[in-house]
Homo-oligomer: A and B are copies of this chain.
Amino acid sequence: MTKSIRSVLKPKRKFTVNGRVWMECNGERFFGPGPAELLEGVAETGSISKAAKGMDMSYKKAWKIVDRLNGAATVPLVTTSPGGKHGGGSVVSEEAKELMRSYCNMREAFKAFLAQQSSFFNNR
Contact = CB atoms under 8 A, between A and B. Distances in A.
Instruction: Specify the main secondary structure of chain A where it touches its partner.
Output: mixed
Interface in A37-72: 72
A3 interface: yes
A16 B23 contact: yes
Interface residues of A, number: 46
Interface of A: 2-5, 7-11, 13-27, 30, 72-75, 77, 94-95, 97-99, 101-102, 105-106, 109-110, 113-114, 117, 120-121
Nearest to A100: B5
B121 A5 contact: no
Contacts of A110: 19, 113, 117
A7 B25 CA distance: 15
A24 B9 CA distance: 12
A17 to B, nearest CB: 6
